């Protein structure tokens, strides 16, 4: 089904699945595995690379000469988009949004922001009193009037094209020799496209694997509706079957004070993964998602016989911007 759509080659696929033996033993719950989408290869890796393979194929097909996208200041999506545009010879404009209140200067200048500069992208800060999508629309129109042909990518690359990448990821998981016994997939859910793509894949491939999203910003109700609508759009686009609302499972107990706001659980989860497995999570997404997985294990959510796959969506490039959060 996915073979019918235009796709570029930007990453290293399939990404590996590894058994987290030390953490599984330490937590004393189900056996935990990790899908290493932090190893996609583009700009230190991450989940957005899968999405960009399909989205930027469309941009090239439409003869775009400028790619415009939006995101939080430490956006992993922005960093991967900047790198992909550099690889393809496209100019990139990133409109960054203030979301973290009272962030120190290092947050605004290091990590992903610094890498955006390295990849040669243009960056504009959205005024704090503006809605970033509206502000982006104005800038895109200005660039169009000046003779450019801009192509807009929504926050997180979360649209029907980006979700094709995670339909493909679900196929990868089900093809893995150990995958038939995975009972659950756990991931961070924010802009919703990665989660929705997995739901679409689960629907297409008629899988019994439960997909659980750990929200990193929205409430359970908000996130369920967002992911479900994105999954509907994705499946309509590929002319697949309709998704079931019951398949969209969200927990929202690990957000903390808000998006990108550090939590004790995130710090402990990041430290545990680093010291037990030598793998770096990130403070905004995978750190909170793994905290959610730990919380589910402690609440006896899983059976000892379950095999749980944690989807690592990348983002460790942002860690230097959060050094203050670990002091």
Rg (CA), the chain: 19
Q: Where are the beta strands (DSSP E) in 239-294?
A: 249-251
Catalytic hit among 24, 75, 121, 286: 75
What DSSP letter does each residue of 136-171 carry, written as one string?
Answer: HHHHHHHHHHTT--EEEE-GGG-STTTTHHHHHHHH
Beta bridge partners of 297: none
Is 181 annotated as catalytic? Answer: no
The CA distances from residue 187 to 26, 30, 114, 288, 310, in Å, are 20, 16, 26, 9, 6
* Cβ contacts of 256 within 8 Å, gap of 6 or more: 262, 263, 265, 266, 288
Question: What are the phi and psi torsion angles at 118 (to 5°)?
Answer: -60, -40
47 contacts 216 by C-beta, under 8 angstroms: no
92 contacts 85 by C-beta, under 8 angstroms: yes
315 contacts 46 by C-beta, under 8 angstroms: yes
Catalytic residues: 75
């Amino acid at each position: 089904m996915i073979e019918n759509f235009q796709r570029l080659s930007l990453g290293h696929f399939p990404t590996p699945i590894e058994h987290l033996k030390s953490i599984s033993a330490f937590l004393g719950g189900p056996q935990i595995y990790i899908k290493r989408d932090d190893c996609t290869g583009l700009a230190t890796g991450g989940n957005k690379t899968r999405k960009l393979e399909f989205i930027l194929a469309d941009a090239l097909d439409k003869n775009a000469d400028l790619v415009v996208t939006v995101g939080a200041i430490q956006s992993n999506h922005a960093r991967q988009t900047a790198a992909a545009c550099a690889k393809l010879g496209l100019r990139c404009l990133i409109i960054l949004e203030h979301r973290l209140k009272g962030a120190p200067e290092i947050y605004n200048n290091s990590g992903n922001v610094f890498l955006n500069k390295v990849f040669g992208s243009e960056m504009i800060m959205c005024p704090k009193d503006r809605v970033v999508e509206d502000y982006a629309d104005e800038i895109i129109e200005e660039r169009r009037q000046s003779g450019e042909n801009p192509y807009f990518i929504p926050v997180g690359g979360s649209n029907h094209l980006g979700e094709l990448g995670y339909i493909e990821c679900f196929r990868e998981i089900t093809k893995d020799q150990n995958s038939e016994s995975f009972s659950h997939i756990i991931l961070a859910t924010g802009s919703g496209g990665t989660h929705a793509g997995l739901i679409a894949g689960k629907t297409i491939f008629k899988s019994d694997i439960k997909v659980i999203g750990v929200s990193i910003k929205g409430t359970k109700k908000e996130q369920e509706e967002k992911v479900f609508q994105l999954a509907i759009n994705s499946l309509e686009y590929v002319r697949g079957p309709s998704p079931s609302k019951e398949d969209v499972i969200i927990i929202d107990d690990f957000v903390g004070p808000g998006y990108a706001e550090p939590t004790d659980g995130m710090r402990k989860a990041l430290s545990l993964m680093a010291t037990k497995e030598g793998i770096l999570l990130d403070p905004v997404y995978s750190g909170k998602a793994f905290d959610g997985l730990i919380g589910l294990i402690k609440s006896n959510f899983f059976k000892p016989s379950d095999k749980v796959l944690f989807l690592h969506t990348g983002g460790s490039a942002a860690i230097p911007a959060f050094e203050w959060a670990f002091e």
